[in-house]
Homo-oligomer: A and B are copies of this chain.
Amino acid sequence: MSHSTIALALHGGAGTILRETMTPELQAQYQLGLQTALDAGYAILEAGGSAIDAVAATVSSLEDCPLFNAGRGSVFNHIGEHEMDAAIMAGNNLACGAVAGIQGVRNPVQLARAVMEETEHVLLIGQGAQTFAQTQDFPLQPASYFFTQQRFDQWQQALQEGRVQLDHTEKKFGTVGAVALDIRGDLAAATSTGGMTNKQFGRVGDSPIIGAGTWAANDTCAISCTGHGELFIKAAVAHDIHCLMSYKGLSLQEASDLVVLEKLVKIGGEGGLVAVDAQGNISMPFNSDGMYRACKSSGREAQVLIYK
């Protein structure tokens, strides 16, 4: 079986993203951020690199862009800090790593990768994960690195209104993620998030939960989700799509549409996901107004999309 096909898909969050409320300048900035991340990962795949390297590079690029709620652009929590979660998974051996509730790390996805590659563990959380980052020589960024006026204003507004927000003043689920198929036929997925504006109590959503927000298995698909995390956990979204393909023989498109457009809708689970299968088919369903997304695969034009 030839595996000459390569494919990459990414998202930068889903939610109430409407053409009416977007300025041309801001839209161009989002498109540039998505394109830059797409190019970073796709170049690796084109050069024969691994799917894991590609999703790590793509997600790192999105984490470095202050527009997206992950890494640098992470929202403020209740006490004015940035708590981030991330996960990564390799489809060839189900190796996976995740971190939750970490602070100061520029690229949480790379810390998740270090958990996968340098430890016997899958999930490290909080202060302990922080200590691990230091043993791995991850430089910690000062709080100023994560400061953006927009996020600060959102936090102040949420504080005043006593709200916990899923990203922006509108209903947006800020998360970034990527999935890839490399030239060897290996799949990989990665997801990263800054969580909810004004969040309290160490809340963690689906992003770092293997099987909920992130999943990759070579025999089925790689998936990265974005949406109302609690409902994505209850629906075990990523692993459910894997099982629908593996046990019911559904195609990637059928399985991901069923979960996102029917099962999640039924429980009020707003959001979407990006997915790729072993043949390089890409699926990017969402049940919200919009989802920042982009994809490219062998022989096809790159797509950079925001609205329905």
Contact = CB atoms under 8 A, between A and B. Distances in A.
A124 B96 CA distance: 21
Nearest to A209: B209
Given A234-B96, A234-B210, A244-B247, A127 B126 contact: yes
Nearest to A249: B247
Contacts of A96: 233-234
Contact of A124 (B124, B204, B236): B204
Given A123-B209, A129-B202, A239-B239, 9 more contacts: A94-B234, A120-B164, A122-B229, A123-B204, A123-B205, A124-B203, A124-B204, A239-B240, A244-B247
Contacts of A131: 200-202
Interface of A: 94-96, 100-101, 119-129, 131-132, 164, 200-205, 209-212, 215, 229-230, 233-236, 239-240, 243-244, 247-248, 267
Contacts of A128: 101, 200-203
Contacts of A243: 239-240, 243-244, 247
A95 B229 CA distance: 13
Contacts of A123: 203-205, 209, 233
Given A209-B209, A211-B239, A234 B202 contact: no
Which secondary structure characterizes the binding site on chain A? mixed
Contacts of A101: 125-126, 128
B247 A233 contact: no
Nearest to A228: B120
Given A126-B101, A233-B123, A247-B247, A94 B267 contact: yes
5 contacts: A121-B230, A123-B204, A125-B126, A128-B202, A129-B202
A126 B244 CA distance: 34
A263 to B, nearest CB: 11
A100 B230 CA distance: 15
A212 B124 CA distance: 16
A201 B119 contact: yes
A120 B230 contact: yes
A236 B248 contact: no
Which of A100, A215, A236, A244 neighbours the largest number of chain B CB atoms within 10 Å of its CB? A236
A196 B100 CA distance: 18
Nearest to A121: B203
A153 to B, nearest CB: 23
A112 to B, nearest CB: 13
Nearest to A200: B128
Contacts of A244: 243, 247
A204 B230 CA distance: 19
Contact of A234 (B122, B124, B132, B229): B122
A132 B94 contact: no
